[in-house]
Structure 1
Amino acid sequence: MSMRPLRLREASLPLSFAVCGGLSLLALGARADAATLTGNAALTTDYVWRGSTQTQGDPAAQAGFKLASDSGFYASVWGSNVEFAPDTHASSELDLSLGWTGKLAPDWALDLNVLHYRYPATTRDLNWTELNGSLTYADRYWLALGYSNEALGSRDGGLYTQIGARYPINPRLRVEAAAGYYRLQQVYGDSYAHAQLSSVWAIKAPLELRLTAHATDSAAERIFGDDYAGDRIEAALQASF
């Protein structure tokens, strides 16, 4: 069963052009405002997104880059292999985002962005765009919201909410926990909840090893099927540079 709705819809080219155009404008604007380029890469045993596998439990290679200005505005691109239902022929995902992040107070930070999901070379239009915001306290606790009127590539709205926390045990080990709820009544006539618990070991800069246990409720299994939802363990070797 596909992780994306199989209903056809009009192509969202204006949205994708706007995001791509915004990336170019931000890059040009970096000449007038000091900017920093960072990147990340990961090899994972499973690409799990909001509790459900995007690779049918198979490994994934992922990489991304972020260009951020001193004023807080940023643009990023990130990619991974995926494996949806065979009839979609979806084999890769490319995420493009434009956003702003900054301090609201000494312990409070806000991140707002527009995120566009693209699935090149598919037989169906699975592309969609989402508005996201996250509020972080003391760099340890966060509340995140994501809304789209074309959730999961449909023509309908979906609202995602997540709360989470991270706790450093020592300089090389930390634990992270998060719980999310995805309201998809307009898309599937149902909604689901998921949770995850991670241990992250700093091996040697910039390498980290992450082990994550994921769990979803029965509603996720009804929506996506047992092959995509349920309980699973994910291990990833990741690096930031």
Structure 2
Amino acid sequence: MSTRFCPRRPHAVACALLTLLTASAAQAHDVSGTAALTSDYVWRGTSQSNERPAVQAGAKVASDSGLYAQVWASSVEFAPQTQASSEFDLVAGWSGALSAAWALDVNLTHYRYPDTTVDLDWTEANATLTLQDRYWLQIGHSNDALASDATGNYAQLGTRLPLGDTFRLEAAAGHYRLDTANGDNDYTHWQLGAVWAFAVPFELRVTAHDTDGDAQRVFGPWAGARVEAALQAAF
């Protein structure tokens, strides 16, 4: 996750999330995981790995009630003075069907960056509404967006289009409103990707990303047009 502002935050939220993670895991009836190697870790339109390859992995436990806990990790590379090299996302939430067509996922995500020279950790509340497993609307809110001690609100609208059993297209556009001490740092990004499920459980994903000029003003070379290729697996 992009952390370019002046950070600070105690770790009380992390302790609460870890408690939720443990409670969810104790009720778990389903365990799943992911692994990926990507040419560039891109999050909300900006590179989190200094435009270099990143290794990623995650694990999720879920109960029949819809409660779930998830841990996801990636290598990162931010500004040299932070010395950040890894990111861990601790997620506790609920997901389930609202009807035959609609589904909802709500969660609390804590982003942790261990062994850094400054405190980059922060927390965000998220909700994703999905229609027919084809269209989605995601919203996120944090009072400490990007560890900046400022409010951040994010919205993304996306769709996926299956092309047979092994191919699909995915497109999304998002807007991030960041109310920092230096004023509003709003920006918009969009992406278009193709996914080839060439052999279970492996997929090859190629995604083109771009941002508006405001993102490049705030994040410099980490924003703008870029292409990301990733080999990923789900198990």
Query: Could you state the TM-score of these two structures normalised by the residue count of structure 2?
Result: 0.97
Q: Is the 8 A contact 1:194 1:215 kept in 2?
A: yes
Q: 1:186 to 1:239 in 2, by over 3 A?
A: same
CA separation of 1:6 and 1:136: change in aligned 2, threshold 3 A = closer
The alignment partner of 1:12 has SS state of coil
Of 22, 38, 42, which aligns to 1:24? Answer: 22
Q: 1:213 to 1:18 in 2, by over 3 A?
A: same
| Aligned residue number for residue 158 of structure 1 | 152
Aligned equivalent of 1:100 = 94
Q: What code does the residue aligned with 2:17 have?
A: V
Instruction: Encode CA deviations 1:105-138: one digit per residue, 9 max, x unaligned.
Output: 1000000000000000001010000000000000
Cα deviations across residues 10-64 of structure 1 (Å, max 9, x unaligned)? x32110100111111222233xxxx100000000000000000001100000000
Tell me, yes or no, if structure 1 residue 185 matches structure 2 residue 184.
Answer: no
After the TM superposition, list the runs of 4 or more consecutive aligned residues in structure 1 that deviate by more than 4 angstroms: none
Give the SS at the match of 1:110: strand
> Given the alignment of the two structures, is residue 123 of structure 1 paired with residue 107 of structure 2, yes or no?
no
CA distance in 2, matches of 1:173, 1:71: 32
Q: CA deviation at 1:185?
A: 2.6
The aligned counterpart of 1:199 is 194
Q: Any gaps of 5 or more consecutive residues in structure 2?
A: none
Cα distance in 2 for partners of 1:183, 1:203 equals 38
For residues 62-77 of structure 1, the aligned pairs below 5 Å read 62-77=56-71
Structure 2 counterpart of 1:47: 41
2:50 to 33, 56, 65: 56
The count of residues paired between Structure 1 and Structure 2 equals 234
Q: Specify the code of the residue in structure 1 equivalent to 2:223.
A: A
Using the alignment, how far apart are the partners of 2:57 and 2:3 within structure 1? 22
Measured on the aligned residues, the alpha-carbon RMSD in Å equals 1.3
Matching residue's letter, 2:61:
L
Aligned to 2:140: 146
Task: For 1:202 and 1:29, locate their aligned partners in 2 and report how far apart those are by CA, in whole Å.
Answer: 31
One-letter amino acid of the structure 1 residue matched with residue 234 of structure 2: S
Q: 1:219 matched to which residue of 2?
A: 214
Q: Does the Cα contact within 8 Å between 2:40 and 2:228 map onto a contact in 1?
A: yes
Instruction: Using the aligned pairs only, state the percent identity.
Output: 53
1:122–1:104 distance in 2 versus 1, CA, 3 Å: same
Counterpart check, 1:208 vs 2:207: no
**Aligned residue identity for 1:174:** R
Unaligned runs of 5+ residues in structure 1 are none
- Tell me the TM-score normalised to structure 1 length: 0.94
Change (3 A) 1:8 1:133: closer
